A and B are shown apart, each in its own frame.
Chain A
Amino acid sequence: MKLLKLVPDNTNIGFVAVRKWAFALTALLTVLAVGATLHKGLNLGVDFVGGLMIEAKFPQAVETDKVRSTIGSLGVGESSLQQFGDPKTVQIRLPLPEQGGAGAANAVVEKTRKAMVAEFPGVTFSRYDTVSGKVSGELIQNGVLAVVLAILGIAVFSWFRYEWQFGVSTFVAIVHDVLMTLGFFAITQLEFDLNIIAAVLTIVGYSINDKMVIDDRIRENMRKYRKMDMKSLIDLSVNETLPRTVMTSVTILLALGALLLLGGHVLRGFTAAMMLGIIVGTYSSVYVSSSLLISLGLSPQTSEKKAAKKGDYAGTAERVGPRDDGAKP
């Protein structure tokens, strides 16, 4: 049986040579994403803006307009309706009553339920969330804090583990990934809720994982080929790890694809975010973060000093040498 190889052996693609283009394209896309986020805004879920979310399941397909007018006549505030694929399921969002606290929110749910049951017999509320403004504020705060801390924490980790250039290039690439994800949510107007924060954090984790693997190879090659110039060295490292980068992205996309198509509507936004993040993260690993190391002035000497100082690569001496070192006939 012939085994599948997505990437042929010994590729030699000049990633570094096109870095100016890659940087320009990346900057453009990032600006567009930020622009879209600022201009269109995110479709924040009740988790983050507070309010009432009811998911109603109807025995047969319904017209959202009819549901809207039924709720509109109740005087419980302006409703916003959304359907995800399934014509029998409608998500209704209502503002939280300004006064009366918990009891009032209850009353709104009950009032809506009564009116809906009268208008559409057999309708059930398969779930509903009420989040007060105070809690939603905290959720936003914690969510933003979590993402910022994760990015910083990991950037600091790769700075201590390697050189500062790695920390900075990883940081830049991750910020790019997060901004692109935000832009995606602004353009598609998919609901941005708590699950998406988890998705963003996972994207951050995954994308860094990707960069770590390449960075690790760059470090290894820097010790191996002391005389090689940085450009060819980075190209070599990215090319060497390319089969793995592609394989892993494809496997994860396969798994996520199954989740997107079959995992039910509750997880759809989450999965979409993850898939986009994987693609963007892979792109930024290959084209942005490693090439950025050159622009940041990484040179073999800096690596040497740090390695000598830390002394934790004592065991690497055996790897210094030509490629076929260790090969026995």
Chain B
Amino acid sequence: MLNFSRWAIAAIILPLAIGVLCAIPSFLPDATVAHLPRFMQTRVNLGLDLSGGSHLLLEASTQDVAKQRLTNMEEQVRTELRRGDPKIAIGDISSRDGKLSFMVREPSQVDAAVERIRPLTQGAGLTGQRDFNVEVVNSSTITITPTDAGIKNAVKSAMEVSTEVIRRRIDEMGTREPTIQQQGDNRIVVQVPGLQDPKALKALLGQTAKLEFKLVDTTANPAEVAQGRAPVGSEVLPYVNNPSGVPFIAVKRQVMVSGEDLSDATQGYDQSNQAIVNIRFNSSGGRKFGQVTSQNVNRPFAIILDGKVLSAPNINEPILGGSAQVSGSFTVESANQLAIALRSGKLPVNFVVVEERTVGPGLGADSIRAGLIASVVAVVAVAVFMFVSYGRFGMYANLAVAINVLVILGVMGMLGATLTLPGIAGFVLTIGTAVDANVLIYERIREERRRGRNVVASIEHGYKEASRTIFEANVTHAIAGGIMLALGSGPVKGFAIVLLIGIATSVFTAVTFTRMVVANWVRRTRPTDIHI
């Protein structure tokens, strides 16, 4: 075992050299790293607790998605049956307990109605699964129940769209390197490093930004509207800034133009220097808007955002240019946010922040400093201790630990892993446990020497016997680390990553590498006794 072929030496040195090389960029300033070749641009990312920044966990309300789908279905059924040919009269439409039910007035038309609805309920997937089940109960009532698979698909696609929309919104804010990731079925993690105050970010993510233009129902009785009752075909919506003082207004259900028809939105000012949002429609949106405004001159229309009326201006003349102004007592900041939200599209589902962690850059810098000092002191203390305990062999172990620390950093850089504060703790602990392997080996060598074996046999035996123990002990460590990585969140994960990489690299540096160094020394000097 004391003979290492050239190939073996190369096979040991090479990966270590690569690991150490990959660690170097992490210590260099940004500008220098940019000049390095691409494969050298591997750096350890700093976690939010070290760099400062915000971590937000957003949760979508899946019930919202299900409800929204049912509302859409109701709309589709109405259009298909009432407006289609031949007309099928329906009534008693209700969506309760998560299902839609309605009565077909003419019993003979029930089968025809089912026929016509079926195509609406087919899922888009390849499996041919239905998104909804259609059933006839009591011979004249039809119920449409969403299937679990259908809801799941809808949530999935809503989440995909949302992740994209959130990414666009955050990009528009111009923040540096945000991380936006879907987590589980209905959550999105947003991490923005270096953000001092996540208030604006949360305001931006908190609005779905569903913009609609609808005509105001001027025929509605104000007293009834105040009680929340609207004429058929209209609905009552909240309108906080209503000049009439009543915080409600009745609008037609039918949408004139919606946010989907926008091509651009920017923040601007109106004549009285109030902050507004200028919007521009795409061609079909502009045409629709022009058409409706031409037909409804001198009538008011409502600008509705997320189900709340922002303002209800009068149509003084047909608006044909394809652009409009959205006013509604904005501040410059909130108008700007709305413009960003409108540009990046509406969120298909509502999100709430269920977890937030914000670390100021000051604390992050303090933590890095404290972590560095602690690590250096730990390394020095352990190194001195190892030296006084094992002499020359202790120094070999120290060399191995030093290389190990760099290799861990290098591997983390290659994997694009993130170093967090618990990760630094993981480092310090790894320094402690990495020498354990050497302690095991050296104690074993001491033992073998006491038993009277010669130097070479003792070293050989020491490495051989200890290696098995080291391997088994590290497997148990890896089990704990793997579980932390799988189940842990945030800080625990950061710790587990360092621990796992450290286990893998420390076995290599503490056993294989030191064995090579020791073998080399023994071959060169042929000692008859060793001081260990």
Contacts and interface: CB of A to CB of B under 8 A. Distances in A.
Contact of B355 (A127, A131, A202, A209): A131
A55 interface: yes
B201 to A, nearest CB: 11
A326 B476 CA distance: 32
Given A259-B374, A262-B377, A213 B469 contact: yes
B452 A324 contact: yes
Contact of A244 (B432, B440, B475): B440
Contacts of B432: 248, 251-252, 254-256
A127 B475 contact: no
B446 A153 contact: no
B253 interface: no
B435 interface: yes
Contacts of B366: 264
Contact of B465 (A105, A126, A134, A220): A220
Contacts of A145: 487
A198 B488 contact: yes
Interface in A60-105: 101-103, 105
B206 A103 contact: yes
Given A106-B199, A130-B355, A256-B429, A323 B483 contact: no
Contacts of B425: 195, 259, 263, 267, 270-271, 274
Contact of B446 (A213, A243, A261): A243
Contact count band on B: 35 or more
A160 to B, nearest CB: 11
Chain B binding site: helix, strand, loop or mixed by DSSP?
Answer: helix
Interface in A124-156: 124-132, 134-135, 139, 142-143, 145-146, 149-150, 153-154
Q: Output the residue of A134, A213, A324 with the most chain B CB within 10 A.
A: A213
Contacts of B436: 209, 244, 248, 251-252
Given A195-B422, A256-B428, A326-B461, A212 B488 contact: no
A59 to B, nearest CB: 12
Interface stretch (A1-9, A27-35, A303-311): A1-9
B472 interface: yes
B363 to A, nearest CB: 4
Contacts of B213: none
B391 interface: yes
B356 A105 contact: yes
A264 B472 contact: no
A206 B477 CA distance: 7
A251 B380 CA distance: 11
Interface in A174-192: none
Nearest to B493: A198
A197 B352 contact: no
Contacts, number: 257
A209 B388 contact: no
Listed residue (A55, A150, A205, A261) with the most chain B CB atoms within 10 angstroms of its CB? A205
B101 to A, nearest CB: 32
B483 A201 contact: yes
B308 to A, nearest CB: 14
B483 A126 contact: no
Contacts of B468: 216
Contact of B472 (A106, A216, A241): A216
B443 A3 contact: no
A202 B388 contact: no
Interface of A: 1, 3-6, 9-10, 55, 57, 101-103, 105-106, 110, 124-132, 134-135, 139, 142-143, 145-146, 149-150, 153-154, 157-158, 161, 194-195, 197-198, 201-202, 204-206, 208-209, 212-213, 216-217, 220, 240-241, 243-244, 247-248, 250-252, 254-259, 261-264, 266-267, 270-271, 274, 323-324, 326-328
Interface of B: 49, 57, 59, 199, 202, 206, 352-360, 362-363, 366-367, 370-371, 373-375, 377-378, 381-382, 385-386, 388-391, 421-422, 424-425, 428-429, 431-433, 435-436, 439-440, 443, 446-447, 450-454, 457, 461, 465, 468-469, 472-477, 479-481, 483-484, 486-492, 495-496, 499, 531-532
24 contacts: A3-B532, A101-B352, A102-B352, A127-B357, A132-B355, A139-B489, A142-B487, A149-B487, A150-B480, A194-B489, A194-B490, A195-B422, A197-B492, A198-B492, A208-B473, A248-B436, A248-B439, A251-B386, A252-B429, A258-B428, A263-B370, A263-B374, A270-B422, A270-B425
Given A208-B473, A263-B370, 5 more contacts: A102-B354, A127-B359, A208-B477, A255-B378, A327-B457
